[in-house]
Structure 1
């Protein structure tokens, strides 16, 4: 890449940083005006400006002693700019006599406005781009002292800090706007999923079930029944995926609907086992359960708790080979009960453990079905009940997921 191209790219980056500040053509701010007045007083200079250098003009973010109409228009074309040279150099430009200086000697501001001396300090971003200057000017030739330059440099650093703050604010506003746009898009997609997609899925499912009921159970209809079973299973699976997407979205938005009531923890465990046993054993996996909860009562949404146990058990079944075992258990504790779902699968690697409850994360995506939201939803439901959920596992030793629910007395 040629030197010219490098410089052009650098200038494009600088201008992008400048526009990111949101300060071009912005109203005057007291924070900058104060620093400009201070520069004028400390250096006893009749003119002082905080100047931003754009592609074809300079804009006075703040100015002291600038004559009209410039004080009102707050800027000039670049041909009148001393500051453009400071920005180009990226370092202080100290000019005792403008007429005798090689860089600025042809500036029309010398004759038109009588600028005889100039001192400018670049306003640098954290990544080294000069967006403009803090400068002072005099109508007489003068020798700028070392103290003058040091004072001006310190004040310029304060101006740069103010600009960085504006950039941070502008970036945060941009991120917030993008987040709001993303949320709106998500809500629109959820609207489509929950109505425009879910309704036809239900229609397919109900139609398949109806045809299975009326179709004769003879050899002639066997092939048709087999295809209808496939359609019904696919529709049910799609409906579960839609439910997962909707639940994950409502959890993320903090709008998860629940109807908590007092329930015996042991009754919830037994209900979960009754529903899960056929599913687990159908896969050729042994099923076991242990109730150590005693008479503990939890204030919980029963359907949501069963959903958590179902998600954890479904995850266990996916990773447990034929002949393995899935175990549900309940233990009472001080002010809480602890449910657990254990499997004898391959376990989870230590580096993967921190990610298991993240959205769409799956330990081994190859050959796995589902949305990857089951554990995320379980985490959200447990958190909404005031409990916590975690996993303990080691490679080759299976995995056990635990979650707690506070007892009704504890609540």
Structure 2
């Protein structure tokens, strides 16, 4: 074969057109067999072929009269091909005597296939590619008539029609397969989306159960019940006890399927070296999940020491298993175990990821609950300390006040009038009184924080008189502030605990002075006001000092809280406003605050006008 002919035969576009038809190496088909048999009769020849010329061979879609072994093989190499020349020329190739034809006289088909006379019409597709021939062969030399060539042309057109019909059928089948594949993909995508949506819904419901209460001993059995219905045949949650044992959170979990799924040695014994290689122990040790979507006997043997005992259980053996750690950071809390029995649950990596997500949420819930319980214990401890401290310090303070009075009286009896002694006694009295008031506030805070109410000694008191007395007392030791009392009526009487109302005004006034370090006006205003169909007496303290940041306003009445803009040089315990708020609430009153950082603060106390209401 010349290089030019070889290049044309092996043209990639021609070969692609041939291969796309799907006829190479296909089975014998009756339609092509009828056409070749008809050709032998009409042309009176022993052999007719439907030959498809490939890159290095010719394949016979139909071959009538071809000798063995070629008839069974249904193909020859191109060394035995006359048809390749018809394909290359793209027109009929007619040979009367191959033995003397210059193009094919050396072709092996003359000897092996007994080809002497040959007439081949190229099979040309609608795309213009010559893919083979319909050829007639005789074993003797002969002259092909025009009528015979025309008949061969007509038969060739019928072969082409049959080929293209097969092509259209194949194309339809391919399109049908593609449609089926697209449909399967769409169904798979829909099923995947539905499963994903189902997982999200399950995760949301599980999260709702987990977050419904800090008492995880109550919520986790509910969660296990949900997962048993939605994700597995059975679910159990095992939590680590302080002595590093695993304990099921539900009673039925200790005796149900998972009591067998979790080996007895793991469920009931402390972890030690004997169980170091046990897969479920490894889940705890490595914080890596165990995912066995299809358990086999060998895996069961690795998981359980007594397979026979496992098979004797009144429940089916596990067929799939997911075990995920319940952990947060370096803290380990236990295991979440999901089991399927007697069936394939169809678990995937997404189901494992869902279980791991739920495991993490359980761990966060347990951590939050433990933190909350620890904070409650810390608050109880703090309140107990406050109660003890206030109780234990009151007695020494009372003794100090008593001896200060004795010292003053003794100095008077012996005729001492030394101003230094009197001033010292006054300082002792003042410090003792201040400490007594602070201890009183601590006692009230501790009592209220413990859930108890403070006992009020209520009588009819005049707020105007209290305000004048407190302001006068403060005027003696302030030099940069101007304290004034504004009142529209000479008397405002209410039913209240006088000592504690005095403490309210004292604390508010102390704060106004302390947090106005540059001095300025501080105004105490008293009035009667009707609000929300009720009569109120109002006590207002206004300053022009530091003010309170807006973000801190919601917390100013919390115990021990101090605003973020308070300089470290202004010391305090953060109890004054807490005491004010609690005393006002005990009097069935209210307190509001209006403040601008850098522009000052106004506190307004509302107390019921019991006399007017009566």
TM over 0.5: yes
Which of 511, 516, 533 matches 1:315? 511
Unaligned runs of at least 5 residues, structure 2: 1-213, 312-316
CA RMSD of aligned residues (A): 5.0
For 1:384 and 1:64, how far apart are their aligned partners in 2? Answer: 57
- Which residue of 2 is the match for residue 210 of structure 1? 406
- Which residue of 2 is the match for residue 303 of structure 1? 499
Which of 280, 289, 313 matches 2:475? 280
User: Residues 9-158 of structure 1 correspond to what in structure 2 (within 5 A)?
Assistant: 50=236, 52=238, 61-62=253-254, 63-64=256-257, 78=275, 83-84=280-281, 89-90=288-289, 92-99=291-298, 109=305, 112-113=308-309, 118-123=319-324, 125=326, 131-136=335-340, 145=344, 147-149=345-347, 153=351
Contact 1:22 1:166 in 2 (8 A): no
Which of 564, 585, 588 matches 1:383? 585
Residue 340 of structure 1, CA deviation: 0.2
For 2:244 and 2:528, how far apart are their aligned partners in 1? Answer: 74
For 1:158 and 1:354, how far apart are their aligned partners in 2? Answer: 39
For 2:482 and 2:237, how far apart are their aligned partners in 1? Answer: 76
Residue 377 of structure 1, CA deviation: 0.7
TM-score normalised according to structure 2 size:
0.48
Task: Tell whether 2:494 aligns with 1:290.
Answer: no
Unaligned runs of at least 5 residues, structure 1: 1-19, 24-28, 43-47, 139-143
Q: Higher mean Cα deviation, 324-333 or 53-62?
A: 53-62
Contact 2:290 2:323 in 1 (8 A): yes
Task: Tell whether 2:565 aligns with 1:361.
Answer: no
Contact 1:331 1:339 in 2 (8 A): yes
User: What secondary structure sits across from 1:92 in the alignment?
Assistant: strand
Change beyond 3 A, Cα 1:81–1:403? same
TM-score normalised according to structure 1 size:
0.67
Change beyond 3 A, Cα 1:22–1:396? closer
Residue 134 of structure 1, CA deviation: 1.8
- Which residue of 2 is the match for residue 193 of structure 1? 390
Task: Tell whether 2:472 aligns with 1:236.
Answer: no
User: What secondary structure sits across from 2:293 in the alignment?
Assistant: strand
Larger Rg: 2
Contact 1:21 1:170 in 2 (8 A): no
Residue 404 of structure 1, CA deviation: 1.0
Change beyond 3 A, Cα 1:182–1:373? closer
For 1:270 and 1:50, how far apart are their aligned partners in 2? Answer: 70
For 2:239 and 2:426, how far apart are their aligned partners in 1? Answer: 71
Query: Higher relative CO (CA 8 A, sep ≥ 6), structure 1 or 2?
Result: 1
* Number of equivalences: 367
